[in-house]
Structure 1
Amino acid sequence: MTVKHRAAIDALVAYKPGRAPAAGRSQVKLSSNEMPFGPLPAVLEAISRAAATLNRYPDFHRVELTEALAKRHGVDPSQVVVDNGSGALLQVLASVLAGPGDEILYAWRAFESYPIVTAVSGATAVTVPLDDRYTHDTAAMAAAVTDRTRMVIVCNPNNPTGTVVSRAELDRLLDALPDDVLLVLDEAYRDFVTDPHSPSGVDLVAERPNIAVLRTFSKAYGLAGLRVGYCVTRPETAEMVRKAIVGFSVSTLAQAGALAALAPEAAAEIERRIALVVGERTRVTDELIRLGVPVVPGQANFVFMPIPDGPAKAAAFEERGVILRAYGTDGLRVTIGAAEENDRFLTLAAELLRRS
């Protein structure tokens, strides 16, 4: 017998993380959009020092980290909320803004957590297909807004396609939204963007009353295992989120590591690593195009290939030692890894994906 629960939960498709290498096999994991570099030495040192205090609870209010992030983005600390990953903050936002009878609007295909957080909040999902460029159709999204819409999510760059929304497109979407409908900009991959037409969402927070920007330490900072994310928004929205987050959800080690990653002396190395990933992204994209593989030019730390037989191709790659991420009949995604990992992928791509 199953305990009583909301019917919407039965229809949920559980989130499936990128497959990990099988025990005893030499496999390259390019399925989870992780950075190929380990934590900075200063981060490891900070975590080691913090470990001596694990008999105490972590800072409930994440004061030091919140203040450091506020300084980094030129906002007041009252505008910053830190939690256990940007996905946790998205769940809180959905829960405090929407419920049964309300709607949460997002493009599809996008990050696979969006249907989950919507269903858990009790709201109804309204999805708008990506356009023929595999990016957000902001005009269609604006047209889909109703008086039941409480939150609109824009993944920028979009996961899994890597495409970005321009400032002009965002402005048009915001102009169509009532001021009491929140636009959530999920900017997990913002650090990899080189397109000058795609804005930083944090810059928009000062101009618009209804924006919340989500960022993470899991990608460019290479701290996926620590689980730290944050939200930048107006103080009144931030206060709602603070009321609903789980207490002590950002560990002492996570706070210490994130603080060390934000230190000025860490900036040059982090930028160097980002530049390496962006350079490899260009190299992988160019080589796939040369092979005749359909590719979506992207701005994140991965490359999306819109091929209809993604699962079969992913299985063939995995059998040969490279783990990718398949999205049904929509396509295949490869995370940009270290140069030698990308070489291994490209060698197999010439065998498995080349168009004759």
Structure 2
Amino acid sequence: MSTPRPRPNVADIPPYVAGRPPTPRPGLVSYKLSSNENPYPPLPGVLEVVREAAERLNRYPDMGSAALYEKLAETLAVPTEHLSVATGSVGLIYQLVQAFCEPGDEVVFAWRSFEAYPIAVTAAAATAVRVPVLPDGRHDFEAMADAITDRTRVVLVCTPNNPTGPAVTQAELDAFLARVPSRVLVVVDEAYVEFVRMDDPVDGLATYRRRDNVVLTRTFSKAYGLAGLRVGYAVGPEPIAAALRAVSLPFGVSALAQAAACASLDRRAELLERVDALVAERTRVLSGLRDRGWDVPDAQGNFVWLGLGERTTELAAAAEELGIVVRPFAGEGARVSIGEEEANDRLLQLAATFSR
């Protein structure tokens, strides 16, 4: 008897492995450093707006997200026609691959990079072309440019790169874009853009304004602390943004998410003060790790990367004994989010005692 069968590529979709929550331990406060979440709760003013929106949960959200589009256009100084909102930047990545790739088309990206990239590519029946990162965790743009073929439709550039940490410079991006054919869509994934503190940082908005094949993806999950509401946005030339809106899930961005995102943009200065505090903690943790003899790549997101290879799972187990949960990538390394001060202190304690 025949039964319904999904497309063959569905069986090949790798699972997304989310950061695991900590196991409760008697007498010990545990911390989750495995999901790059913002440790600060939403601002009181944002919570108030969400509570008001929750009173109308019997109604559908505004499918056009008009208020959010208007607020984003004002904040970024871009036309609303150049915007598309979705369920976080990861939702936008899925939509971009769906909108621009036929089955068998190629998508080039650095690896290791964001875990959702190969999932989105495989779900669209496209072909993932993974280009290994350099030993210091940076994109190998020469190799990525060499990997572009006649079948390439999309290139994904993750900056800062999750999970290794380094960000791309504007000079690096410009040199790479000069080698990318204009028919290829370049997605600059800036989920952690607010955390970047470096010389010659990428100016994503200026780059998209200069090039017809560049689109930016950003999120409210990290710097703005709205991970539980799932809302992000893309900025790109009108034809690209229109394609994203065309394949978007109707009513995908909830009323609560829209209200919280608008309220967060109104309170952007206050929220970015929290980002400054997290960056200061990141600097302290990075310096502390290096002072203890660890070779850690540059960290421009809200996390650090510990490349331990085969000893990664051993480190994750030792971290859990101290009440902190990290995100291990077996055989490669562990990503550790910057969290509460006590959690970061425990990471440094672990770094001082763990035998490498």
Same fold (TM over 0.5): yes
Once residues 241 and 89 of structure 1 are traced to their aligned partners in structure 2, the CA distance between those partners, rounded to angstroms, is 7
The CA distance in 1 between the partners of 2:4 and 2:318, in whole Å, is: 41
Q: Which residue of the partner structure matches residue 221 of structure 2?
A: 218
Q: Does the 8 Å CA contact 2:24/2:30 hold for their aligned counterparts?
A: no
Q: Which amino acid aligns with 1:245?
A: S
1:128 aligns with 2:131: yes
Runs of at least 5 residues in structure 2 that lack an aligned partner in the other structure: none
Distance in 2 (CA, whole Å) between partners of 1:281 and 1:24 is 26
| 2:312 is aligned with 1:304 | no
Equivalent in the alignment of 2:272: 271
**Alignment partner, residue 242 of structure 1:** 245
2:172 partner SS: helix
Distance in 2, Cα, partners of 1:310 & 1:8: 30
- Structure 2: how far apart are the matches of 1:352 and 1:8? 41
1:190–1:200 contact (8 Å) kept in structure 2: no
Q: Which amino acid aligns with 1:150?
A: R
Alignment length (residue pairs): 352
Aligned residue runs from structure 1 range 76-155, under 5 A: 76-155=79-158
- How high is the TM-score relative to the length of structure 2? 0.96
The TM-score with structure 1 as length reference comes to 0.96
The CA deviation at 1:204 is: 0.8
User: Which residue matches 1:12?
Assistant: 13
Query: Secondary structure of the residue that 2:262 maps to in structure 1?
Result: helix
Structure 2 residue 66 is matched with structure 1 residue 36? no
Residue 189 of structure 1, aligned match among 166, 173, 192: 192
2:205 aligned partner: 202
Deviations 1:217-259 (A, max 9, x none): 0000011001000000001111111110100011111100110
User: Partners of 2:3 and 2:15 in 1: how far apart?
Assistant: 18
Secondary structure in structure 2 of the residue aligned to 1:196? coil
Structure 2 match to 1:325: 327
Percent same amino acid among aligned pairs? 45
User: What amino acid sits opposite 2:229 in the alignment?
Assistant: L
Q: Which residue of 1 aligns with 2:345?
A: 343
Shift of 1:10: 2.1
State the SS of the aligned residue for 1:225. Answer: helix
Q: What amino acid is aligned across from residue 305 of structure 2 in structure 1?
A: F
Matches of 1:329 and 1:294 in 2, distance apart?
Answer: 17
1:172 Cα offset (Å): 1.6
Displacement of 1:45: 0.6
Unpaired runs of at least 5, structure 1? none
The answer on 1:178 being equivalent to 2:177 is no
Deviations 1:290-324 (A, max 9, x none): 11122112101001111111112102211331100
The farther-off stretch of 213-222 and 53-62 is 53-62
- Which of 64, 70, 75 does residue 73 from structure 2 map onto? 70
Which has the higher mean CA deviation after the structures are superposed, 266-275 or 98-107? 266-275
Residue 251 of structure 1 corresponds to which residue in structure 2? Answer: 254
1:203 to partner: Cα distance: 1.7
**Contact map agreement 1:66 1:80 (CA 8 A) in 2:** yes
